[in-house]
Chains A and B, each alone.
Chain A
């Protein structure tokens, strides 16, 4: 009984630390927004804010999956290829086979979820390194996308499908609604369910988690399955945005997702992440892109600036956390 109490207390302290983590990155986000607004007033406009929120919805889906994987001391490098596969499946089914939009989307997301499940199973059952597994499945998935599309770009002319990206509920475009829904669901799953606690437990101390009866196979497989599912959702939004299905999309998209997770306080040592933190990380990445272009920073220096801002933000966050703990 005493042991249990200690654990609760430990969790509470951890929670406090996490809260400070969230708070710190929020301050950085605010500083950034104020800074860009002063440099370029067009940044403040409501339509620009809606634009950024719509744009980041794709990276957000990927980042939420990624933060789960990283929290279990893993990584999911297959997400970029998953976007391509989902896109090609949608193109084939809707444009060439004449399927309805909803069944096509369901099939596409099922396939990406299945690949996520395969990733998770390989990682947990055979205890393989997540980096190696997803690096390899990424190649297989992109290859599959090339097979499905025949290497060609398939235009998707269906107007309703394109609406997935542009349709609005009042002033809010549909991708933002998906983002809000995903954020709430992720929060509930990660911070409120047994599964969420297992994810933290597995990442924090796998041996202890096994000893307390957590099924590593089930937890990790589900983690990567969710990552695959979210990559599928991102793929649908992506395809609707460009109205084109092709196998060469999404190269390097895992980078921005990992960056968002790290900014949001997700620890590569495992066991630490928060959904609001990752959400803020996602917006920081979005504002970096948007802000630099609006201010008119020379594109040759943008990549450097992005790297420097990420390191600076994480450093600042760590310094602030140290002071508070």
Chain B
């Protein structure tokens, strides 16, 4: 029994010391911060030449919170950001950047990454939100900490209020472009299926809305259903084969929320000898672009991801030069067909 009491006491001491350690550490931290700012004030005359130093610590640090590091769409965006920000560090425009922080397509993880950007005293943070609503906590948290936040690719709920700027596409427009392509390619109309991204994701919601905008008033086309495919190519291919089985020649098109799915669906159709089925999606990944070039896929709607993050970095450069910056930069989508595919295929 004694041993038990002793062990419980030890455990309690551990927990309490942890809490106390945290709290006293916190006090120490804030004191340090105060000292820092005090010493900065002393030096501020030297540093005043450097415009755009948001937190005034004499160093320009840029944070970059990715949506994830695995999707074919996000890889080139991250690469472009890495290349450009590394360049800015080596030419002395900024002092440091965080490297690509992995958001794991998870708003909770992005909120944790935001804490780290705050801990690293970032002046500017570029974030590609995983979710419209859930990632908002990360954006507001950083804005509250005095960081200039630039939201890229998809806006969070309070982006317009708290962020320095938003650089991204209009996903409703992308959905409309998808529907328009199908309407133009299949003049006679018919049945179409819709492969969705992860349900609840803002790109999925808005692209679906865009498709619906055009298709609901078009009586030539009839939807056979929306199928949740979680952005996954193999799931879209399964939907394609299932729908061909079920509707045969009546099926004329498969609209997908991204083009990993549309290229897989088109491949399934082509393999089944149904090249006439029009599959189309959004993003402009390399594989679908290659299929467009080879004539296996009619078109894909290209989202200029590197262009979006490039616009965000341009805004930071402008702010560092003391220029005024736009609150919103809309980077347009491009319909890629055989005619212009060479411009985008690497």
Contact = CB atoms under 8 A, between A and B. Distances in A.
Contacts of A152: 199-200, 205
Contacts, number: 148
B131 A290 contact: no
A47 B199 contact: no
12 contacts: A42-B120, A43-B119, A46-B23, A47-B119, A153-B131, A153-B200, A153-B202, A154-B133, A242-B131, A246-B200, A296-B99, A299-B66
Contacts of B21: 49
A58 B109 CA distance: 11
Nearest to A55: B112
Interface string B92-128: 0000001111100011100111011001110000000
Interface string B226-255: 001000000000000000000000000000
Contact of A293 (B11, B24, B32, B113): B113
A176 B22 CA distance: 10
Interface stretch (A128-136, A184-192, A315-323): A184-192
A299 B120 CA distance: 17
A294 B23 CA distance: 21
B4 A153 contact: no
Interface in B39-89: 66, 69
A229 interface: no
Interface size class of A (residues with CB under 8 A): 35 or more
Given A155-B157, A294-B119, A248 B198 contact: yes
Max chain B Cβ within 10 angstroms of own Cβ: one of A184, A249, A289, A299: A299
A253 B98 CA distance: 25
A124 interface: no
A242 B4 contact: no
B22 A146 contact: no
Contact of B22 (A43, A151, A172, A297): A172
A277 to B, nearest CB: 11
Given A171-B23, A249-B106, 11 more contacts: A46-B23, A47-B30, A51-B115, A51-B116, A153-B131, A170-B23, A176-B22, A191-B4, A248-B198, A249-B134, A293-B113
B28 interface: yes
Given A153-B134, A170-B23, A242-B135, A146 B120 contact: no
A44 B32 CA distance: 12
A241 B202 CA distance: 19
Contacts of A172: 19, 22-23
Which 8 residue pairs are nearest across A and B when measured between Cβ atoms?
A46-B25, A46-B26, A244-B133, A242-B134, A244-B134, A46-B29, A151-B199, A299-B102
Interface of B: 3-4, 7-8, 11-12, 14-15, 18-19, 21-30, 32, 66, 69, 98-102, 106-108, 111-113, 115-116, 119-121, 131-137, 157, 198-202, 205, 228
A50 B15 contact: no
A275 B201 CA distance: 37
Max chain A Cβ within 10 angstroms of own Cβ: one of B14, B101, B119: B119
A302 interface: yes
Nearest to A239: B134
Interface in A240-280: 241-244, 246-249, 251, 275-276
A171 B133 contact: no
